[in-house]
Amino acid sequence: MTSQADRTPTPRSGAKRILVTGASGCVGQYLVEELLAETPHRLVLVVRNPGKLPAAVAGSPRVEIIEADVTDVAGYRGRLGRIDVAMLVAACWGGPDAFRVNVEANLALAAYLADNGGERVLYFATGSVIDAEGRMLPAARELGSEYIRSKYQLVEEIEKLGDRIDIVGLYPTLILGGGDGKPMSHFGNLLRQARPWAWLARFLRADGKFHYVHAKDIARVARHLADAPLEGLAKPRRLVLGNPATTANDFIAGFVSYLGLRTPFTVTLKDWLAEGIIRVFRIELSPWDRYCMQHRDLSYRKVYSPADFGLPVACPDLAAGLAGIGIPRGS
């Protein structure tokens, strides 16, 4: 058990130079906003399209922008200078660039810090590559999408640098975010698209358990870990980020209640019924989709939120998360 004292950052003189990749995306924008508001640090942002950055960020005297493809490390490494902390947020969700972005670029940047006096690397993985106890999940490597398989490989390789530099892995669960001028997260988009179908979803019950987390809470944890001592976090440092686990039924009930809908009765979605729906509507399932259908408990023994570090939680419950992504409460 880690005590609060172990997690309280010690004062440091001077500002760090923090490298952030993926700064124009959903999590990246919350992270940059958090760092500028809550720390004195200077930020180095590697972005392919600076026009996607908020004007307040692009015009900040504490922000240096390197316009480049994150994978072209050889092309921009000479402009990085000394970097104290790297926050490797940039990700590719699939296709031929998945391994170049998620593995090769992240490893090259982590090695750069290790070779040039950097203090710490925070890399972003996904909860899909580890099991409930935080151990690597072989099924993710064997059955996962390109995104999941690339993140699995990243974890295996980047942790090998742990003897040369502090390595901290952040493993977000389902991410809520956007709706406040920032890009919408994939899960946030899914919930917005599901809203017109809530009248039907309220009648369904299904097995399943999972976590969700708001991008602002991810940013708060990452900001804290840029400065905090790590002695209380055992290696390998794999921090699953999320709210307490919720069942699929509780999530659906909370969603439809928030929208002001009543549920007079429910129908349990049995395996045979799910398979029938898949066949009738010719839904194509990947091997990973099949795996997730068979392993519906996606909860973790230990998850982290800002509260674990004595910080306020931006999204303590589903209602706050739905309001945050612009879904109005029903009456």
The dihedral built from the CA positions of residue 261, 243, 297 and 143, taken in this order, carries a sign that is: positive
pLDDT at 276 over 70: no
Angle at 96 between CA 94 and CA 98, to 5 degrees: 45
Mean pLDDT value across residues 12-26: 89
Closest by Cα among 182, 142, 141 to 53: 182
The pLDDT value recorded for residue 13 is 45
Domain 4-181+211-244+299-314 -> CATH class: alpha beta
98 touches 147 (CB < 8 A)? yes
- Residue 172 sits at φ, ψ, to 5 deg, of -65, 150
21 touches 77 (CB < 8 A)? no
The more confident residue out of 265 and 33 is: 33
Q: Which two tokens stand for residue 213?
A: 């987390």
The more confident residue out of 77 and 10 is: 77
- Residue 291 sits at φ, ψ, to 5 deg, of -60, -45
At 214-241, the pLDDT tens digits run 999 999 999 999 999 998 899 999 999 9
Q: Which alpha helices (H) appear in the chain, and where do they start and end?
A: 4-7, 26-38, 55-58, 73-76, 98-99, 106-115, 138-143, 146-158, 186-194, 198-201, 215-225, 248-258, 271-280, 287-294, 318-324
- CB burial of residue 47 (10 Å; 0-12, 13-18, 19+): buried
The pLDDT value recorded for residue 256 is 95
Mean pLDDT for the chain? 92
CA pair distance 196, 186, nearest whole angstrom: 17
CA 113 distance to own-chain centroid = 22
Q: In angstroms, what CA-CA distances link 183 with 28, 189, 205, 283? A: 10, 10, 31, 28
pLDDT at 1 over 90: no
At 156-186, the pLDDT tens digits run 999 999 999 999 999 999 999 998 889 999 9
| Percentage of the chain lying above the pLDDT 90 cut | 80
pLDDT at 10 over 50: no
Rounded to a whole number, what is the distance in angstroms from the first to the last CA of the chain?
43
Domain with CATH 3.40.50.720 in the chain: 4-181+211-244+299-314
CA pair distance 151, 293, nearest whole angstrom: 21
Confidence band of 154 (pLDDT split at 50, 70, 90): very high
pLDDT at 3 over 60: no
Q: Which two tokens stand for residue 79?
A: 């402009």
Confidence band of 273 (pLDDT split at 50, 70, 90): low
pLDDT at 105 over 80: yes
Q: What's the pTM value of the predicted model, to 2 decimals? A: 0.91
Q: Which of 105-119, 138-152, 270-284 has the lowest mean pLDDT?
A: 270-284
Confidence band of 265 (pLDDT split at 50, 70, 90): confident
281 touches 142 (CB < 8 A)? no
At 23-68, the pLDDT tens digits run 999 999 999 999 999 999 999 999 999 999 999 999 999 999 999 9
Mean pLDDT value across residues 112-139: 98
Closest by Cα among 261, 234, 243, 226 to 299: 243
pLDDT at 318 over 80: yes
At 60-81, the pLDDT tens digits run 999 999 999 999 999 999 999 9
The pLDDT value recorded for residue 205 is 87
The pLDDT value recorded for residue 289 is 83
Instruction: Give the orientation angle of helix 215-225 with respect to helix 26-38, to 10 degrees.
Output: 50
Mean pLDDT value across residues 119-124: 98
